[in-house]
Every structure is written in C-alpha cells, then in structure tokens.
Homo-oligomer: A and B are copies of this chain.
Amino acid sequence: MSHTVELLCVGTELLLGNILNTDARDLSRELTALGLNVRYHTVVGDNPERLKAAVDIARNRADVIITTGGLGPTCDDLTKQTLAEAFGLKLVFHPDCAAGIEAFFAKMGRKMTENNLQQAYLPEGCDILDNAWGTAPGCAFQAGGNYVVMLPGPPRECIPMFKERAMPWLSRLSEGVIRSRTLRVFGAGESEVEALLRDRMNELTNPTLAPYAKEGEVELRVTAKADTEEAADALIAPIEAEVRAILGRKVYGADVAGLEQVVLEGLRARSLTMGTAESCTGGLIAKRITDLPGSSAVLKGGIVSYTNEVKANVLGVSRTLLDEKGAVCAEVAEQMAEGARRVLGCDLAVSATGVAGPDSDDRGNPVGLVYVALAAPDGTEVKELHLSGGTNRRDRVRNLAANHALDLIRRWLEDHPA
C-alpha cells in the first residue's frame, strides 16, 4: 500500500497570481518517482485560521503532508506555529539552528537582524532539515498517524532541501533506497516513444519507466527501489540498455541538462570550436549555447543573417542562388554553414534557414519548412525538416529547428570519438 500525499503551499503571493507554483510541480514529480501518490495540492494564504483549517482537512485525507512556504523570519511566516499547534506540539528553540543562521549571514557578508532567530524555533521532537541554501531550516515529524515535512517556499531552497534532506527522511515510507536515471530522447515524438515502449512501461513495476514530454523531446525516467544504491542501479542498468537498444541514437544522453550541454561537453573534450549562421532561429542557437557557463571555450561566434543581404555580404552565400531559389533551400543552408565556418574560423558550424511563421514566405514555402546544415572538416551535411504545429507555432518551429541543428553536432561528435 503506497502512501498518499497532500502538498500544502502557503503564500498569499500564490493566491494573488504574482508567482507560479513551480514547487508543486517539481515536488509532485519527485514524490511520484519515490512511489508516493500525490492526491492534492492546496494553496492557502498567510492566514493562520485558514491554514489551520486546511491542515485539518489534509490530515484526514492524506498520510503525508508536505508544506512549502511560511518558514521565514517575518510576522507573515506562520507555518511552523500553525502546524505545531494543529498537531499539539510546542515550538522549541534550537541553539544549533540559531548558530547555523548566524553563520549563513556571516558567509553572505550580511548583518543578521534579531527576527531571524525566530527561525530557530521548531516543533518539539522533530527532525531538523538543515537549510544549506538559505536561512530557514525545515523540519519533519510524525504525529497522529501523519508524516509532516515543512520546506521553505523559494524554489532555489525548496527543491534542493527536498532532494537532499526530505527524501532521505521520507525514504522510510518507501522502505529502501530510490534511484532514478533520466534518458533524454530527441528525434522521436512522445506518441512514437510510447508506442515503442508502452508494453514495457505497463508491465514494469521495479524499476518503473515513465515518459515526460518536453518541447521537441521526450524524457524517459527509470526509477528503481532497492535496499542499497548499488542494487537500485543494478536494476536500472538493464532497462536503460533495453531502451537504448530500442531507440538507438535517438537517446542522446542520460542525466544531462539538454542537447546544448552534450554538444558543449563533446566539443570541449575534443578541443573543437563551433559557430552558427542563423536565419529563422534568429540567434536562438547561439543563445542556447551561451546560456551555459564555459561556452566561451567552445563558441567562437555566430552570424544572424536575417536578410539575404547579410547572407550574401557577411556569409558569402551566392546572390544568384538567393535570387533563383530564395533563402529557404538546402543549398543556402549549406553555404550559410560553410560561410560561418570560414568567417568565424571555427571547426564546426551549424546553420538554420526556414519559415518560422506565422505566415508562409513570399515564395509560398509553408510554415515549418526549415533546412539545417552542419559544415565540418570532413564535409557539409544538410537536413530538410517539416516542423508541425501546435499553439505558439513560431516558438515551436524555432525551438525545434535549434534542436535539430544542435543534434547535427551531437551526432557528428558521436561519429568522431575523442
């Protein structure tokens, strides 16, 4: 029998619509992977009566209550007091927590005001969840048939606190160790991945295999439960191998941040440089690479050639070609990539030219027709794409085109081992 969970998120700013409740999404995903059943999310404001009433509802319909928010030093921060009261516990001062809070301020070079010590009061008998990412410690306790975990609200504190502190505490509920590994898939839609793996996903119970659709790609998460980390990893390995055998090179990495990360690391490992020539993606490919720290070792630069004039003048694309076939064709993509490689002096260059929309171009090329090319020391390759719709079609076409361009480099790197 697996346990049921209610997330109780405390914060008037959520009810005013000032911020998105990313904690609820991220914690739900982690809890589901732990094998717990998230049954409810509840958001209440910074109001002790309404919070108390919400706790009374939650304790009767879920085993595990996880709160976010309201642990800070201001008078609005009432979660600890209210939860302690609801479960008949006193708040107790913890000198070691107080020392930790003082140390955090010292490390940041900031002066600590007295009200911060409020955060060192925690329910009697609780386990303290140390906060290495901010000042407010969290806590966890078992009372009256419920498991209660309290986490701070800011996502940059909440999520690492959950992973590093709350998960080990909650692992008692899942009797053993939980490990997971996320395979990243590009070049197959969610429905295709599901069709290929549905039977396995349905029959597997440990590890479980679950897909998550992301824009233009799919994540497959393999999650195993065992007595030790090694045993859990040993359960994951054959499933990973099986998925890789079925999906082949569409799996571009495991536990990686994205295609740009794989490209950046692959190029760095081989001491190679890259550049971009972008028409319809308008700088997005370069932007995604330079989102990553360390990209200056790899990206020499990029040319956003949004007009034919710039394609010809800066990248050296043939004017005759542009006049005769227009900017959206395989040959222009090739010449853009080759031009970028020459002008920027880089080892590999990718290009993208196409119709991002919302309207077809003046030659009648449809929205979603895109050519991406890779110019490399051993030659140039080009790929014709027909990128399909959805809402925000323009964004989608641009993102997918950038993914395909990055994937050309990823596959080239796989074909040219370091």
- Residues on A close to B: CB < 8 A? 9, 14-22, 24-32, 38-45, 50, 53-54, 57, 61, 156, 212-213, 276, 278, 280-287, 289-291, 293, 295-296, 299-307, 309-310, 313-314, 343-345, 356-359, 391, 394-395, 398
Q: What is the bound-complex CA distance between A169 and B43, given in angstroms?
A: 25
List of 6 A-B pairs having minimum Cβ-Cβ separation, nearest first: A282-B290, A17-B29, A283-B286, A17-B28, A283-B283, A302-B304
Shortest CB–CB separation between residue A294 and chain B, in angstroms?
9
Given known A-B contacts A45-B39, A344-B314, A395-B291, A32 and B57 have beta carbons under 8 A apart? no
Query: Which of A45, A53, A304, A345 has the most chain B CB atoms closer than 10 A to its own CB?
Result: A304
Can you name 18 extra interface pairs (CB under 8 A) apart from A53-B61, A291-B398, A293-B358? A15-B28, A15-B40, A16-B28, A16-B29, A18-B29, A18-B212, A40-B50, A41-B42, A50-B61, A281-B287, A282-B291, A296-B307, A301-B306, A301-B307, A303-B303, A303-B304, A313-B345, A314-B344
Would B307 and A283 count as touching, CB distance under 8 A? Answer: no
Would A290 and B306 count as touching, CB distance under 8 A? Answer: yes
Would B295 and A282 count as touching, CB distance under 8 A? Answer: yes
What are the residues of chain B within 8 A of A307 when measuring CB–CB? 296, 300-301
Would A17 and B21 count as touching, CB distance under 8 A? Answer: no
What are the residues of chain B within 8 A of A276 when measuring CB–CB? 283, 304
Q: What is the bound-complex CA distance between A293 and B280, given in angstroms?
A: 11
Would B283 and A304 count as touching, CB distance under 8 A? Answer: yes
Q: What is the bound-complex CA distance between A57 and B57, given in angstroms?
A: 9
Q: What is the bound-complex CA distance between A231 and B300, given in angstroms?
A: 57
Would B16 and A43 count as touching, CB distance under 8 A? Answer: no
Q: What is the bound-complex CA distance between A282 and B276, given in angstroms?
A: 11
Given known A-B contacts A304-B302, A394-B293, A25 and B17 have beta carbons under 8 A apart? yes
Residue of B nearest to A47 (CB): B39
Shortest CB–CB separation between residue A131 and chain B, in angstroms?
14
Q: Which of B20, B286, B358 contacts A25 (CB 8 A)?
A: B20
Would A286 and B290 count as touching, CB distance under 8 A? Answer: no
Q: Which of B28, B32, B40 contacts A42 (CB 8 A)?
A: B40
Shortest CB–CB separation between residue A38 and chain B, in angstroms?
5
Q: Which of B40, B45, B282, B395 contacts A299 (CB 8 A)?
A: B282
Shortest CB–CB separation between residue A228 and chain B, in angstroms?
26
Q: What is the bound-complex CA distance between A27 and B20, given in angstroms?
A: 11
What are the residues of chain B within 8 A of A296 when measuring CB–CB? 306-307
Would A286 and B313 count as touching, CB distance under 8 A? Answer: no
Q: What is the bound-complex CA distance between A306 and B274, given in angstroms?
A: 11
Given known A-B contacts A156-B391, A283-B284, A306-B296, A43 and B40 have beta carbons under 8 A apart? yes
Residue of B nearest to A304 (CB): B302
Q: Which of B18, B29, B300 contacts A310 (CB 8 A)?
A: B300
Q: What is the bound-complex CA distance between A32 and B19, given in angstroms?
A: 13
What are the residues of chain B within 8 A of A213 when measuring CB–CB? 18
Would A44 and B38 count as touching, CB distance under 8 A? Answer: no
Residue of B nearest to A293 (CB): B358
Would B18 and A21 count as touching, CB distance under 8 A? Answer: no
Given known A-B contacts A29-B18, A287-B287, A295-B282, A310 and B301 have beta carbons under 8 A apart? yes
What are the residues of chain B within 8 A of A30 when measuring CB–CB? 17
What are the residues of chain B within 8 A of A43 when measuring CB–CB? 24, 40-42
Q: Which of B156, B303, B306 contacts A295 (CB 8 A)?
A: B306
